[in-house]
Amino acid sequence: MHSREPNRIDNNALKVTDQQVGGVELLTEEERTVLTQDVASSEKVSPEVLSTRFQYLAEHVTGALQPNTAEAKLEAAKLKDALVTVHNNTYQLKRFIGRGNFGIAYLAEQLGTGKQYVIKLSKPYDHKLMRQPAQPTIEQKRAGNTARYAVSEIAVLHRLTHDEQNQPLERHDGEPPFPIMYEAQLMQDPLADRSTVDMRMAAEVIEYIDGPNLQRVLREEGPMRDDLPRLKKIVLGFIHAIRRMHDKGVLHLDVKISNAVIDDDDNVIVLDYGASQIPEKWASRRAKPIVWADPLMPVYSKRYTTRTDVDNIPSPARDVYALGVSLQELVYGLSDVENIMEIQAGFSRELRVLDATIATMVNPDPDQRPTLAEVEQHLKTSWQELEDQAALAAVKQLIAS
């Protein structure tokens, strides 16, 4: 496996209790022996052990993704200490991080090295539904959507964080602005009969990023408009990340401040690619087996999109709108602002430029929104001109004095 040195994160906001909930032991001794036995990372795990683990993981990941929050937490807690083997590398799940529409994430430790990663496990799905039936029913469309999303995130993160030799990138000075995926596998029960149903789970081994998300920063510190240098760096970093994504043919489709973290140097790293899509793979014979005729069913947060965007085929303009709303929150804060005109009256020229740019990004008409390349270039150029003007004015004042 490619050498790697993951970063870490303090993400205490998302927690469930550990293997004991209300004093009730969730794993029997027999289950614990089979599911958490110490298997060296380099040792090939037997089909019997892999089968037992797969069945256990599938059952409790499914339970952890159910709507009932209390029962879901119990199911998520049952996964603590379970082992996940990805390409003969075995990881032990340590702490629940969070869940989404199609999967669950845990902090995990690699056996043999002690290194920490994020392990993301998808909802179990029938891999045969990666191919569209001749006349799919509503149920088959939903199940097919689950299957495609399970595979889609792997494809997205591979495209964003691997080099031309298919090796994971290395992190330097906040780059890449995405969490690095080190390896992934479409796990299956090696002893199962797959003639009618080919049940799989997508497993991803991802870098653990160190830093709070921007929603947490705003809740603890308030709007960033009074710290202009920091705001400008974070704004440009956020735009840069999504623009880089678009340049690589990826749509994020769930851009929001809770899906972006900052490191100690305020570099922005965008997380959560469970809703992301690669448009060129829609109905593409070159991207087998993803051959459904329609784009993936949309996943979205209402605050960060419009009805027009939801009804239309996903496009970069949808990310532009969501990013615009996110930048507004950085400037104005999370609460509804009543004295907005009073706040704007105190804006510096740099903030006025940013505010006007954001207004173009949240235009209700997707066709009238700028590209992120245009937004990035406009802000960089405008802010540099203002800095140059300020520097020139300072020199003139110094000479005059």
Token pair listed for 78: 């049952």
Distance CA 99, CA 76 (A): 9
245, 273 in Cβ contact below 8 A?
Answer: no
- Res 24: pLDDT: 29
CATH 1.10.510.10 boundaries in the chain: 214-393
326, 277 in Cβ contact below 8 A?
Answer: no
Question: Looking only at Cα atoms, what is the longest distance across the chain?
Answer: 87
pTM: 0.83
Residues of the chain with pLDDT under 50: 1-3, 5-28, 30-42, 284-291
pLDDT, tens digit (0-9, with 9 covering 90-100), for 334-352: 987 778 999 999 999 999 9
CATH 3.30.200.20 boundaries in the chain: 20-206
- Res 357: pLDDT: 99
- Res 60: pLDDT: 97
* Helix or strand holding residue 362 (H, E): none
22, 156 in Cβ contact below 8 A?
Answer: no
State the architecture of 20-206 in CATH terms: 2-Layer Sandwich (3.30)
Number of residues that this document lists for the chain: 401
State the architecture of 214-393 in CATH terms: Orthogonal Bundle (1.10)
Those residues whose C-beta lies under 8 Å from the C-beta of residue 352, and which sit 6 or more positions away, are: 344
Distance CA 2, CA 144 (A): 32
In the 3-class helix/strand/coil scheme, how is 200-216 assigned residue by residue? EEEEEEECCCCCCEHHH
